[in-house]
Chain A
Amino acid sequence: MKNMISMRDLSKKDILHLMEIAAKIEDGEIVPDLKGRLAALLFFEPSTRTMFSFDTAVKRMNGSTIIMSGTKNTSSKKGETFADTLQTIAQYSDIIIMRTPVEGAARYASEIVNIPVVNAGDGANQHPTQALLDLYSIMKTQGTLEGLKVGLAGDLRFGRTVHSLAQALSLFGVQFKFISPSFLQMPEYIKDDLEARKIKFTELDDIEGNIDDLDILYVTRIQKERFADPEDYENLKGSYILKKSMLDNVKTNFKVMHPLPRVDEINTDVDDTKYAYYFPQAKNGVFTRQALIAILLGEV
């Protein structure tokens, strides 16, 4: 593995290897040492949460970071091309971790620099490390990725997280329930990919009554701005809010996940149940990113 650009590039074997390394790092069985190595965190589009997670991952392994957040005071404002910016930064650092609103920018970066590139989000396209940490969280809580029943709820149309996750889980024979308003359903091209892999899925429009047979419910936020009529949002949003009262008959291994930040789609009364897993999930992001960076830098 030379770069991490898209989940599409990863085989089942690659994913399982990365999960294994992440688990060993978490258990302290492997302690990668990045002393003297420097990661450039280029966040052309600010994202505090993801940036901190990567920064933490590098520093937990004794590496150091240089950080760019936003483009306000950068040379790109002076007209420097993206390619020149990247090639210059590549002279200083051992790995580039980048987020941009430009789709395909990370792929392009990986073609022009000779150090590893990690895509930390390129517009609406890919955010592979989010999918990897989600997979790691599922693996940790369920002991396997094979043959699970997974519900994806909320905005399934615009959420790149659920797209990457659905594609990744399809390698493991997962069955899906897609729970969303009709106009925020999973896009056809994702459903086509799943059908091509003979993955079973159903499309539903209410969380309540549809989660008792699930192993995982992955909730995402529905943005009010997606609705043309605010009244429609008010009428519909109740169907996509998870409450403690809905958890009476769920399976004992059931877990609720969320990429965060949460607004009101998971009621806070769920937080205290044994099913809530969204904060440990964020912590898992650090182990997953540690594993990825260590693999890309040849330290494991």
Chain B
Amino acid sequence: MNEIKQIKVNAIKNGTVIDHIKAGTGLKVINILKLKQSDVIMLGINLKSNKIGKKDILKIENRELTHDEVNIIALIAPNATLTIINNYEVTQKQSLMMPKIIKELIVCPNPKCITNLESITSRFELTEEKTGTIRCGYCEKKYQVDDVSIKI
């Protein structure tokens, strides 16, 4: 398995590798990044991982992520590893962590929340990292990150 992974990573000349994505979340990451049919991407699903048991891995050629995209991925795939490849070399590597305060990115599911009725930037606070529980800074309702819509 390590050998296969090595080949995949080495095969990219320029672009981004997102590793250690929670198993089953890889397709969601593809949707969020709005990857097009013409983009060269490779997705591995349910690969064996010593770190998290099972994982997805996504490799995108010729694409670096914006700050907002990194924040969104940190939300849906916390603990993923982001690697930037330039000319076959790893130039940057970072472990993603769920942000403590999440501004703008999440739509509050509560229809009675002021953020859905006025033009306001939404704000959520991470209340429990382990379960991905967040609380709306306005209506104070709690949700799981997996259950909320993310603005793309």
Measuring CB to CB, which residues of chain A are less than 8 angstroms from any residue of chain B? 6, 8, 81-83, 101-105, 107-108, 122-126, 189
Contact = CB atoms under 8 A, between A and B. Distances in A.
A104 B139 CA distance: 4
B114 A189 contact: no
Interface residues of B, number: 16
A92 B71 CA distance: 42
Given A81-B118, A82-B118, A104 B138 contact: yes
A102 B138 CA distance: 10
5 contacts: A103-B113, A104-B136, A104-B140, A125-B140, A125-B141
Contacts of A107: 114, 137-138
B114 A103 contact: yes
A189 B113 CA distance: 18
A105 B110 CA distance: 13
A212 B13 CA distance: 75
Interface of B: 110, 112-115, 117-120, 136-142
A126 B115 CA distance: 16
Contacts of A82: 114, 117-118
Contacts of B142: 189
A49 B8 CA distance: 69
Contacts of B114: 82, 102-105, 107-108
Contacts of B117: 82, 102
A103 B120 contact: no
Nearest to B142: A189
Nearest to A82: B118
B118 A83 contact: yes
Contacts, number: 47
A104 B136 CA distance: 9
- A6, A101, A102: residue with the most chain B Cβ atoms closer than 10 Å: A102
Nearest to A83: B118
A101 B139 CA distance: 11
Contacts of B112: 101-103, 123-124
A170 to B, nearest CB: 16
A108 B118 contact: yes
Nearest to B114: A104
A122 B115 CA distance: 13
Nearest to A81: B118
A103 B110 contact: yes
- B113, B136, B137, B141: residue with the most chain A Cβ atoms closer than 10 Å: B113
A177 B7 CA distance: 61
Nearest to A101: B112
Contact of A123 (B119, B136, B139): B139
Contacts of A8: 140
- A104, A124, A126: residue with the most chain B Cβ atoms closer than 10 Å: A104
Contacts of A122: 139
A105 B120 CA distance: 11
B139 A125 contact: yes
A82 B115 CA distance: 12
Contacts of B136: 104
A82 B137 CA distance: 18
Given A104-B138, A108-B114, 17 more contacts: A8-B140, A81-B118, A82-B114, A82-B117, A101-B112, A102-B112, A103-B110, A103-B114, A104-B115, A104-B137, A104-B139, A107-B138, A108-B138, A122-B139, A124-B112, A125-B141, A189-B142
